[in-house]
Amino acid sequence: MSGLRDRMNRLRATASETQATEDDTTVAARSIPVAVETDDEDRLHPGWSAFGVSLRRNEAGSYLMRRTVLPLDHRHGTHTVGELKEAAAGLSSFHPAAGEPAPESILYLDLETTGLGVGAGNVPFMVGIGYMSGDSFVVEQTLIRHPAEEFAMLSDLQKKLRNYTYLATYNGKTFDWPLVQNRMIMNAIRLADWSPLHLDFLHPSRAIWRNTLVSCKLSHIEEERLGITRLDDVPGSLAPQLYFQYLGDGDPAPLEGVFRHNESDLLSLACLSIRFGWLLQEQIFRRIPYPEEAEELVRTGLWLNRMGLGALPELLFERAIQHEKAASSSLLMLAASDKKAGNWGRAVLLWQKAIVQAGTQSHEDVIEACIELAMYDEHRTKDLESALAYALRALERHERLTLFGQRNRKHQSEQDSLRNRVARLRRKLDRRGMDS
């Protein structure tokens, strides 16, 4: 492996002086864009120092690094990074058996890559990590100037990983971490027995903001919920293009924006972990206002229930129920949870309120609520007259959908089921009348 790297370095150093023979190795080497500079520290392009990038060397080779040390009172939107000292304890709900995580045990990871997916053709040209160290929050960003530097960069990353228990990412379970593992395998670097406890904040973000926000991208969540506004930010989608531009002309200036974008991603990830840490300690609303949307109140409470909390969810549910503009869909979502938990009293109230809130705007929500109430009255209260009334109301709304052309196989199946329910309830009422 080291012989291959030495050979590639020799080819780069002499490419401008001699012409290699036309064998397969030379053709492959020419197909990869390579920066003009060499591995010699004296030849490091002066443009790197303009934004704090320096050369790093180890026994495996060299690569570039930008290291930023921030004080704990550094504010990134709503939160300061120092809040992690106290908020980290709440993250224990993600891995209860491991106990409370120390803030120093969490490593934040974000990659900038040449493409999409985790296959062999996608290379992380920049690896950004963030971590708490004493009275500072440290951001380290490493970058490779050509493929031969990847081994040195990943070798140092592998050594650093051993110092942490938790790996915090945004969609890292699916993308960042598998890609790092694949690249280490391809570079014959062993991760030994290190298996992180993953904190992937994409999943709780989707659980809470799926229908409240237009998008659950980190850049959108940070702007809408973390109070973070980026100025002159380089979109992550442009990062590969700017990297290939650098490989072509050797000018590092365009990459300054990529470094700053990656740093902001890491800080936003840390602030998002603070937000969830406070939320799981049921202290978040002492620091920020309650959500304005009933759906976000309900979804937050349902997610906290799944994470094992009980007090705050009930407060959020009550706020959602009392919300003047609570959407019928939010009420039905909470009613479904209450039905599953056997909380029939509130479920019935929610179904009834959903019918009122939906009015003539949402036939689907009225149909769902009426069917639930018809089933409840038929099987639990045995109030067959009420059950029939709700079933007929649901059938009437279903027929309206048919008139409006909103008809498919699912609607036809539901409509047939409603007709069968109405017929069954009428038979039961007839038998009851005969018995009486």
The model's confidence at residue 3, banded by pLDDT at 50, 70 and 90, is low
DSSP track, 4-43: HHHHHHHHHHHTTT----SSHHHHHHHTS---SS-S-GGG
Which of 265, 260, 275 is closest to 217 using CA atoms?
Answer: 265
Same fold? 42-280, 291-360: no
Task: Given CATH 1.20.120, say whether it is the number of domain 291-360.
Answer: no
* Mean pLDDT for the chain overall: 88
Mean pLDDT (whole number) for 88-117: 94
Tell me which amino acid residue 364 is: E
149 contacts: CB under 8 Å, gap ≥ 6: 39, 61, 62, 63
Residue 400 has pLDDT above 90, yes or no: no
The model's confidence at residue 362, banded by pLDDT at 50, 70 and 90, is confident
99 conformational bin, left if phi > 0, alpha if psi -120 to 50, beta if neither: left
Residue 311 has pLDDT above 50, yes or no: yes
Q: What's the pLDDT at 17?
A: 40
Instruction: Dump pLDDT digits (tens) for 288-306.
Output: 999 999 999 999 999 999 9
Domain ranges of the chain: 1-31, 42-280, 291-360, 362-436
User: Distance (Å, rounded) from C-alpha 113 to C-alpha 144?
Assistant: 11
Q: Pick the residue with more confidence: 77 or 310? A: 77
Structure tokens at 63: 């690569």
Instruction: Dump pLDDT digits (tens) for 404-424.
Output: 665 566 778 888 999 999 999
**How would you classify the pairing of strands 124-133 and 106-113?**
antiparallel
For the domain 42-280, what is the CATH code?
3.30.420.10
Q: Pick the residue with more confidence: 117 or 217? A: 217
DSSP track, 157-208: HHHHHTT-SEEEESSTTTTHHHHHHHHHHHTT---TT---EEEETHHHHHHH
